[in-house]
Amino acid sequence: MSEPTAVPRPADTACRSRRQVLHGAGALAGVVVGGGVLAACAEGTDPDRSADDVSTSAAGQAVVALEDVPVGGAVSAEVAGVPVLVTRPAEDEVHAFSAVCTHQGCTVTPGDGVLECPCHRSVFSLTDASVQSGPAPEPLGEIAVEISGADVVVS
């Protein structure tokens, strides 16, 4: 006579309650959404491209009209396909910095008298892009610029 085959009972299976399934789906959605936010931080940036590379490849290129950069402020621009920030701490003083945050590669934006990373709230100086607060470990990379006529130009 053959042995009867054991049929698993519900407690022995991988069945989940509706609450367990929904809870797991919520956790998965959090991972997907969170991953999307992190991916958005670095979208369009090339962390391997240094400010020195941009300075060399774009020498002589006009970045922005001087009149478009407010005294005591900054504007976003692009040089050789790389996002940059042009700052004007004083009437006759301009600087340009890579807009790629040194923390996790998010794009830094002009703030109120400072440069701010919207992802993790690092704050950088208009004058030298030094870290004023936040998790960024280093200042933003500087791109050599000068005033030439009515423009800010990569030097």
| E strand spans, the chain | 62-65, 73-79, 82-90, 93-98, 109-110, 115-116, 123-124, 131-133, 142-143, 145-148, 151-154
**Domain coordinates in residue numbering, the chain:** 10-42, 51-154
Q: What is the pLDDT of the chain when averaged over all its residues?
A: 77
State the pLDDT at residue 21: 38
Helix (H, G, I), strand (E, B), or coil: what is residue 97? strand
Give domain 51-154's CATH number out of 2.102.10.10, 1.10.10.10, 2.30.40.10, 2.40.50.140: 2.102.10.10
State the pLDDT at residue 66: 98
13-40 pLDDT tens trace:
333 344 443 444 444 344 344 443 333 3
133-143 pLDDT tens trace:
999 999 999 99
pTM: 0.68
